[in-house]
Structure 1
Amino acid sequence: MANNVHPLSEPLTLPNGTKIKNRFFKSAMSEALGTKDHNSSPALIKLYTTWAEGGTGLVVTGNVMVDRSALGESGNVVIEDERDLEMLKKWAKAGTKNDTHLWMQLNHPGKQSPRTLSKKPVAPSAIPLSGNLKRFFNEPRALTTEEIQDLIIRFGNAARVAQKAGFTGVQIHGAHGYLISQFLSPFHNRRSDEWGGSLENRMKFVLKVYQEIRKQTGANFPIGIKLNSADFQRGGFTEEESLEVIRSLADAGIDLIEISGGNYENPMMQGSNVKESTKKREAYFLEFATKVRNIVSTPLVVTGGFRSEKAMTDAVAEGEIDMVGIAKPLALMPDLPQQIFQGTYQTIQLKPTKTGLKWLDKSASMLEIVWYEQQLARMGNGKSPNPDHSVWLALLNTIMTNGTAVFKKRRG
């Protein structure tokens, strides 16, 4: 198809009037390319130049933390103030080339801060992570009311700095078991004050975060959110609750909603336990997106599973979603949108990241994160991605850099 008639090349106008040139959305991936002081780096500038030149309409950064004492991993970028503003400006300038939108994803890990980084992480309630994850993360303590208020302001401050640096929007990370997701979940949030209990109370934190960002950035600055369709965890955040949160965020004026699901105790966002009917349509959360469509008019993105041009095109052409969320394929094919518009794209085949050793492959999500982070690092160093990069070599490189603690601290 010619570029000017392809459904995925159609621009999208957000409710606040912001125009995005096409329907491709690069979802957040952890880069781990921040400096030892948790500032942005030349590698991030080069990486995001590559994506901007590849034709994606809206690119979202990996999660940027709002508190230096609460890291998801050692390579996180953190924004607490304007100390890194000049490098942030260079990052924003690089990522907005070619009329690309670059949004910063803002996050706080809550209890999902590895024990190598947090002696006593914070969470809505002092509930430890379950299962195999328990030994990698220290038991959290419950946040005080004053700390909750401080965190809300931190999200707003980070968004204001991002806006000043030239990022064209921000995305709140409200999914995958991080702090906002923890507040929303009745399993993880067992508070008895105004921040817990009823869904109305549990969603108060995310609504206050949104309102603070809006207050500090103004009405015309795009604010999106990544939200779970459900946690897929017994006693956790349900689809019905997610729909209510989405309705409230839409009423509050959120500009774009990215739908995902699961957490690191049940990683549905990585394609585990996918139904056959879902595999045919590729994307994991399209059925839930249809339910969202019935209650709000806010533009929607679904990320996870898209591989073929047909599945991407059909989902947008049939009105199921407004933008196609892509992550892993853009780590191997950064010009994927351009290839589709030029008619040269062939469906990408992603190889499983496995070593063949059962005990090691039980840490499949860790291996995958390590392998894909090294693809991003290659692009950050001006090299092309290498789809044939050895999983063993990726693991060896990471152990040489981080030591055996890699098994404890790698997160998505």
Structure 2
Amino acid sequence: MTALEAPVEIGGVTVPNRLYRAPVLECAGTGDEAAVDALVDELEPTTESGVGLVFQGASVVTETGGFAAPNMTRMHDPEFVARLERLTDAVHAHEGKIFVQLAHGGLRSLSLWHGEYRERYPDRRQLAVSRPPRALRLLDRAGILSLKPHVLSTEEVYDLAEKFGRSAGYAVDAGYDGIHLSAANMGIIQQFLSPYYNRRDDEFGDGVRFLEVVHDAVRDHAGDVPLLTKVPVETDSPPFVRRRISRLSGLDTAQRLDRIGYDALVPVEVSVFWDMSIIRGAFPDRAWAAADLQSAYETAFGGPVRARAVELLNRLQARQFDRDPGWNADFCRRVRRRVDVPVLLEGGLRARADCDRYLGDDGDPPAADMVGMARPFYAEPRLGARLLEGHDALCASCNNCTVPQVAGEPGRCRTPSVVRAQARLAEKDAYERDTGAGSGSESEQ
């Protein structure tokens, strides 16, 4: 048995192997059976293929606001969340585990940047940790963003933490095996942790304090369910950003979260902004050029000029960020040396050999206890069967799956060569599980 195939325990829950589907936007919608259907259709094939742990992507804990992209899922309504038992049952039927990632966009919410949303809800404000940074204020004055911050009082911060706890309780009642907090990608938890955003003068001026209160709220509502969180460092921020989460600060945060009682950590290197540091890879030229999406882009970004400006910025950023597989591995390894809980690695992994390497099969000290992929599952929902047999993902990191999501499109592969390769593999039954543990690292690319 390789390290990838070995079970691992997170907070008392045994995951059957060390491969996970990382949180990624499903754009499934919320509140009705169609949303449940969409989540089952997306996540059941992955766990059926042998992936040990699947994460339902960022799901918002408040009744209004908080969406960072259209058609996200909300977890605030116990009646709707109870219907998601159909999803958790489907995962458990294949002996997999499912955690839900709880989130809130804070300043990154739709009311900041989405043109149609701003027109529909002109009075919506973004929850803010402190007065927004100067860069965002300048973009607001230039008319590029619509900045309407509501700075949370101390009481409101406690109330927000309670919403995370209540949503966690609803999820556990519906059969979810664990809770994951979205503490990166410019969401509100990263904003609490970041000195770029957090200049509070109350107890929450220490951003880890917010994660401590959320931890306590989750324990109150969901008991001893496994609880993990991302641990961001803002090393990929633009040079003009002077106040940021350093690696040293990130390591300190990880150690404190271990002491508070978090059951696993996901260290990530990010920016203070929502930019290409999140996804990296090639400029998604096919997605930007798609004729059927031009109107949707213009609607989302507030007109053709703004849409072209975002496209240009996307093109420039695509050249900036390192695309090495496992780009968070160095930070993960440093965290793993200092904590006693499992560390999860994600970010650009595509090859089985890299998964084995970071889990320590090649003799190196392991960087992580689990390895995850996200976008590759858009191209191959049943990718787990091939990875566990020793093959590589088809995903070319072209990002043509991601840009359409700003218009509410579901994540799917839009690169013809990859789609054709996936179809050929499916015809050869390459996605049928073979529990006889094949070996080798042949690439299908």
Q: Same fold (TM over 0.5)?
A: yes
Alignment-derived partner of residue 268 in structure 2: 260
Aligned partner of 1:373 among 410, 415, 427: 410
Return closer, same or farther for 1:51/1:244 CA change in 2, 3 Å cut-off: same
Aligned residues: 358
Q: Shift of the alpha carbon at 1:254?
A: 1.1
Aligned partner of 2:127 among 101, 122, 137: 122
Matched, 1:202 2:207: yes
**Contact (CA 8 Å) 1:112, 1:137: kept in 2 or not?**
no
Cα RMSD (Å): 2.7
Q: Shift of the alpha carbon at 1:38?
A: 10
Matched, 1:43 2:38: yes
Alignment-derived partner of residue 28 in structure 1: 23
Return closer, same or farther for 1:351/1:260 CA change in 2, 3 Å cut-off: closer
Alignment-derived partner of residue 217 in structure 1: 222
Matched, 1:9 2:8: no
- Shifted more, 24-33 versus 38-47: the winner is 38-47
Alignment-derived partner of residue 310 in structure 1: 353
**Contact (CA 8 Å) 2:196, 2:244: kept in 1 or not?**
yes
Return closer, same or farther for 1:369/1:324 CA change in 2, 3 Å cut-off: farther
- Shifted more, 179-188 versus 210-219: the winner is 210-219
**Contact (CA 8 Å) 1:66, 1:80: kept in 2 or not?**
yes
For 1:35 and 1:254, how far apart are their aligned partners in 2? 28
Return closer, same or farther for 1:291/1:86 CA change in 2, 3 Å cut-off: closer
Return closer, same or farther for 1:347/1:84 CA change in 2, 3 Å cut-off: closer
Aligned partner of 2:83 among 68, 71, 87: 87
Q: Shift of the alpha carbon at 1:340?
A: 2.6
Return closer, same or farther for 1:65/1:35 CA change in 2, 3 Å cut-off: closer
Q: Shift of the alpha carbon at 1:137?
A: 4.3
Q: Shift of the alpha carbon at 1:349?
A: 4.1
Matches within 5 A, 1:94-113: 94-113=90-109
Q: Shift of the alpha carbon at 1:390?
A: 11
Q: Shift of the alpha carbon at 1:348?
A: 2.2
Aligned partner of 1:182 among 184, 191, 206: 191
Matches within 5 A, 1:13-412: 13-14=9-10, 16-35=11-30, 40-72=35-67, 73-115=69-111, 116=117, 119-127=124-132, 130=135, 135-196=144-205, 201-219=206-224, 221-230=225-234, 232-233=236-237, 234=241, 235-263=243-271, 264-271=273-280, 273-275=320-322, 279=324, 282-317=325-360, 318=364, 319-343=366-390, 345-350=391-396, 352-353=398-399, 366-367=403-404, 373-375=410-412, 387-388=415-416
Secondary structure, in 3 states, of the residue corresponding to 1:19? strand
Structure 2 unaligned regions, length at least 5: 112-116, 281-317, 420-445
Secondary structure, in 3 states, of the residue corresponding to 1:141? strand
Q: C-alpha offsets along residues 119-157 of structure 1, whole Å, 9 cap, x if unaligned?
A: 211111120584697524423121112211111110000
Alignment-derived partner of residue 298 in structure 2: none
For 1:39 and 1:349, how far apart are their aligned partners in 2? 28
For 1:204 and 1:347, how far apart are their aligned partners in 2? 39
Q: Percent identity?
A: 24
Alignment-derived partner of residue 306 in structure 2: none
> Structure 1: which amino acid aligns with 2:28?
L
For 2:139 and 2:179, how far apart are their aligned partners in 1? 30
Return closer, same or farther for 1:351/1:189 CA change in 2, 3 Å cut-off: closer
- Shifted more, 32-41 versus 265-274: the winner is 32-41
Q: Shift of the alpha carbon at 1:36?
A: 6.7
Alignment-derived partner of residue 379 in structure 1: none
**Contact (CA 8 Å) 2:192, 2:198: kept in 1 or not?**
yes
**Contact (CA 8 Å) 1:40, 1:91: kept in 2 or not?**
no
Secondary structure, in 3 states, of the residue corresponding to 1:91? helix
